[in-house]
A and B are shown apart, each in its own frame.
Chain A
Amino acid sequence: MSESTDLAVSLGAGTISFEIDGSLYPQDALYGAAYVFLDRCYVLLDRVSDNRVRVLLRGKTKDAALDGDALAGEFQNELLGQTWRRKIAEDNRSLIEAITARALGGAAGPPGLDDLLEMDVGSETAFDDPLGIAMSWEEKYAKGKSDAAKTAKDAAPADAAPAEDPPEVTP
């Protein structure tokens, strides 16, 4: 990071500015790092050249003395950390997908969260309700009402759930 980042430059009025080499970091990591500072700082990004992005940070609280170098250092650490974490996440993507698919359905079972995420929104493209949440009680279990509860138990995904709702915590 040190070779890619100019020294933090104070612009007065509590604002610091530094440049980073955009070719070394995924834009997602830059955004991720910038996002982390949105609560404490006003953050402005500007493109200096094809590969260089200038980051401007100004602390929100006027009374707190703004340590520009510390802030720049923290930003660098965050940027590198997000890059590191994203690489690990990438290595693990297929594992997480396999687990999620197995847990919440997928090809071999009832559809899961992924399906929820992929559904089209819009009044005509009404979503498909893969989890069966939108079905009425009778529709979902499609049996005589009197044994509906028993049927619900049977219909629960084998791995997933006892028929009872998880109760809330009580003392």
Chain B
Amino acid sequence: MIEVRFHSSLYDAEAVTEAIDVYADFARFERVGGDAAAPYIHVRIEASADGEISEEDVRAEFANYALGRTIERRDGREVAS
């Protein structure tokens, strides 16, 4: 079990949700807290037992994806794909 937090002034909540969807095959993700007013989005990550990728690697890839999507969404690319 490992945790990562994203400050809501820097990360888009929808982008974090997309990242969870994309990486769902590699680990179990759980959003902790869920208070809309909270400055942080906390996500707990538990890699699948048979996963070939470590929890730390999933966290790093997942956080990169969330940041990338935040930037893309901000540039007006909200159309779902």
Interface residues of A (CB under 8 A from B): 28, 31-32, 34-35, 38, 42-47, 53, 58, 121
Contact = CB atoms under 8 A, between A and B. Distances in A.
A42 B60 CA distance: 6
B24 interface: no
B79 interface: yes
Contacts of B10: 45-47, 53
Contacts, number: 37
Nearest to A117: B76
Interface residues of B, number: 17
Contacts of A38: 64, 67-68
B7 A44 contact: no
Interface of B: 4-5, 7, 9-11, 39, 60-61, 63-64, 67-68, 70-71, 74, 79
Interface centre among B39, B64, B70, B79, by most chain A C-beta atoms within 10 angstroms, is B64
